Amino acid sequence: MRYKKFGNSDLETSVVGFGGWPMGRGHYGSFDDDEVVRAVHASIDLGVTLFDTAAVYGWGEGEKLLGRALEGKREDVVIVSKAGIPWDEEGGGRRRDSSRESLEKSLNESLTRLQTDYLDLFLIHWPDESRPMSVPMDAFADFQKQGKIRYGGVSNFSPQQMSDCLDVFPVVTNQVGYHLFDQRPEPEIIPFCADNGMGIMAYGSLAHGLLTGTMTPETTFEEDDWRRSLMAFGQPIFKGQNFLDNLKKVDTLKEMAADKGFSVAQLALAWVASEPTVSVALVGTRKPEEIQENVAAADWELSPSERAEIKAVVTG
């Protein structure tokens, strides 16, 4: 396992991190809680140090399950959680609210569910444009003084929004969707983070399952799986002809990976993790047997020319 810092900060992470969205029941279909706990333990044994979750994953249940899995292992890991999307009831309406009151309530509830008295990294999940960015950043400064968070960051923020935050508080990361089928952060977000000493947390590193190499034209999703819409953050990667075309690209990537002795999932992870500004490539998994394959990708550091060659398969 390789380890990196978040930009210019002292916060260190394994380059492959454990993404907790799939353990939030009601988002990614059915799963076994005990198997998830075993997957978390296997990750730690193989050198994974960062575990990412959010209050809204499973409407709090994802944090509870992660807290159970990390019991007795707190000092060995970096725990990341996110706030700013309160909900009215389980499965009900959600809204963006980065007021101090909302963030403080969410943080305290997250600490209880995660069975810890501090978070290593606390993020605003999505930007709340109804108020100045100084409002949540002032709250972050107070949470840090109180010892409830070590560092603060943001998720899904634009360069201007990050700049507004940095005027008030030294956020160390922006967590954004970044993978071979979603390269939208490259023109502006990644350069901004590089220029301002921030690291990227990349979510969806395996294109939300598309780059696992297990999908076929017959793949369907359970009713409580968000991918059932066939859209992924505004991109129709699972929809109609786009999906079929993408599967052909995955087949080509499989061949490229096999020539190097790797799987297509490892190639996809290595591609993300080899971007210099990426601090951690998050992988959502619930099965212990998938962990070893994911972790092996950390040792495959691609050169810029190799990354460009792989990118060309997808972009043409």
Residues designated as active site: 57
Among the listed residues 309, 305, 295, the one whose alpha carbon sits nearest the alpha carbon of residue 257? 309
Among the listed residues 169, 183, 105, the one whose alpha carbon sits nearest the alpha carbon of residue 133? 169
By residue count, the chain amounts to 316
Give the side-chain half-sphere CA count within 13 A for 124.
Answer: 30
Provide the token pair at 230. 């066939």
Three-state secondary structure string covering 177-222:
ECECCECCCCCCHHHHHHHCCCEEEEECCCHHHHHHCCCCCCCCCC
Cα–Cα distances in angstroms (integers) from residue 182 to residues 211, 223, 265, 280, 314, in the given order: 12, 24, 15, 16, 10
Report helix, strand or coil for 34. helix
Q: In angstroms, how far is CA 218 from the centroid of its own chain?
A: 27
What are the backbone angles phi and psi of residue 121, rounded to the nearest 5°? -150, 125
Q: At residue 304, what is the residue type? A: P
Q: Cβ–Cβ contacts within 10 Å for residue 238, how many?
A: 22
* Residue indicated by tokens 């002032």: 138
Burial-class residue 287 by CB neighbours within 10 Å (0-12, 13-18, 19+): middle
DSSP letter (8 states) at residue 61: H
